[in-house]
Structure 1
Amino acid sequence: MSLGSDLIKLQETDLELAKLGKQLGSLPIIDELAKKRAALTKLRAEATRLLAVRKDAQIAVDDLDEGERACHEAVAAAQARPVDPSDYRAMRDLEEELSNLAKRLERIEFDRPEAREALAAAEERERKLVDYIKRFEAAIVEDTRAARDQASAIQTEIDELSLRRSHLFGRLPEDVQGLYERSSKRFKGLCVERIQGNVPTVCRTALQPASMDALRHATDYAECPYCHRIIVVNEQE
């Protein structure tokens, strides 16, 4: 394999490595995963809020139940309290106390359906969101696995190309290695060009007869007099 051919293949390998590196760093599925994880954070925050709403609704129901229990105990205690029927004031106080307790019980019975309805609605919203979050988390796990597989496949290509690059670069003479590295950095990877007729394939500036004559005397490569890239003269295997 000629030096010119090695230079062309080395550049092709470097360009492919750069492309794969960019692909690895910007996989669409990675962006989607980031969006889904952000959405999951919001869903979990909403789940925390619904949990608080459900607990408040449960407390409201429990308070009514506790109020009812306390009222019944107060009624039983009032009825068990000895009162002289001839004591008008004591009887009036007892009747007023029992009346107030009865009103409280009526109010509790009036408020309980709404409180239980609010609790049932809160429980249903929380249950649906929890189920949705579970499915959402499972989808993220699957996407993460798919992203890992895609990244692994690209990384395998990168590893194989890196070995090929090391082999190609190692076959270049030391001075050509330095020339290639400097030129590649200067021209952002596109530092080697062919010649088609009298026109270099990258800078596309037609060479003058004197420059063409110099190329004919070059062995494997020369420098473009205009853009100063490496022109491959002999690309034969």
Structure 2
Amino acid sequence: MNDGTRLLKLQETDLELQRLRLELSKLPELVQLARLRKRLSLAREEMLKVKGERKDVETDLADLAEEEAYYRKQVDGVQAKAARLTDYREVQDLEIELSNLAKALDKVAFDQRDRNEKLERVLAREQQGIAAIERLEGSVKSCAVRAREVATDIQERIAEAEQARTKLHGELNEDLAHAYEEAARAFNGLGVEALRDDVPTLCRTKLMESSLNEVTRGDAITTCPYCHRILVVHEEDDAS
């Protein structure tokens, strides 16, 4: 196999790889798997938010419990002090202090009820989220099994094509391999064409006699004077 044939075969292999990878990416089972994985990722992100909310509420409740304990300790101290007093004005002042402490405890109790109700809602969301994540994880696993089964044939063909590409590419010299990669990028994978009589196979622009004589007298691999792709003038095998 000469270099011209290798270039054409390499391009054919690359196009086949592109087609197979596109076919693989569009398999319904893989599309469904991608959707399920995205939903699972979003569900896990939401669960992190819910757990964060729960921790915030639990922190609030712990702070309120400390606040309640503080006010109750104050109440006990004021009541003990009131029992020892005989002066009316001092007793009256302590009663006012006890009234203020009672209001503070009422506010703490109100906040505690509010946080407990919020905690119940958050815990319910957390349980629902856990159940949803478990269902999605099960769906992802079963869908992955189905996707693997239907994709096996395509993946095997991709592996074979990749192996063939590596061999073909490795048989080209460094300059020609680089020229091929540059042409493939410039022409969206169609950077090599062959000369059929006096017409290149891709740009389909008939060569003038002078141009035809020039390319046929030159190297087996040249550049198309019209589209500037790599032009394989002689692609027949040298060895076989």
TM-score w.r.t. length of structure 2 = 0.57
Question: Displacement, 1:17?
Answer: 5.2
Matches of 2:174 and 2:100, distance apart in 1? 94
Alignment partner for residue 64 of structure 2, among 60, 63, 66?
Answer: 60
CA RMSD of aligned residues (A): 5.2
Contact 1:57 1:118 in 2 (8 A): no
Question: Displacement, 1:192?
Answer: 2.2
Contact 2:10 2:169 in 1 (8 A): yes
- Look up the match of 1:192: 192
Aligned to 1:10, what secondary structure does the other structure show? helix
- Look up the match of 2:231: 230
Contact 1:193 1:231 in 2 (8 A): yes
How many percent identity over aligned positions? 21
Matches of 1:62 and 1:169, distance apart in 2? 73
Matches of 2:217 and 2:119, distance apart in 1? 87
- Point out where structure 1 has 5 or more consecutive residues left out of the alignment: 84-89
Aligned to 1:230, what secondary structure does the other structure show? strand
Contact 2:199 2:205 in 1 (8 A): yes
Contact 1:200 1:206 in 2 (8 A): yes
- Look up the match of 1:116: 112
Matches of 2:175 and 2:63, distance apart in 1? 78
1:168/1:108 CA distance change after superposition, 3 Å: closer
- Look up the match of 2:95: 99
- Look up the match of 1:51: 55
- Look up the match of 1:87: none
Aligned to 1:223, what secondary structure does the other structure show? strand
Question: Displacement, 1:120?
Answer: 1.4
Does residue 67 of structure 2 align to residue 71 of structure 1? Answer: no
Kindly report which structure 2 residues correspond to 1:194-209, keeping only aligned pairs within 5 A, or say none. 194-195=194-195, 198-209=198-209
Aligned to 1:207, what secondary structure does the other structure show? coil
Count residues in correspondence. Answer: 214
Q: Counterpart of 2:75 in structure 1: which amino acid?
A: C
Aligned to 2:232, what secondary structure does the other structure show? strand
Question: Displacement, 1:92?
Answer: 0.9
Question: Displacement, 1:135?
Answer: 6.7
Q: Counterpart of 1:111 in structure 2: which amino acid?
A: K
Bigger-Rg structure (1/2): 1
Q: Counterpart of 1:60 in structure 2: which amino acid?
A: L
Contact 2:223 2:229 in 1 (8 A): yes
Aligned to 2:13, what secondary structure does the other structure show? helix
Contact 2:224 2:231 in 1 (8 A): no
TM-score w.r.t. length of structure 1 = 0.57
Aligned to 1:187, what secondary structure does the other structure show? helix
- Point out where structure 2 has 5 or more consecutive residues left out of the alignment: 25-29
- Look up the match of 1:168: 168
Matches of 1:228 and 1:102, distance apart in 2? 95
Contact 1:215 1:233 in 2 (8 A): no
- Look up the match of 1:86: none
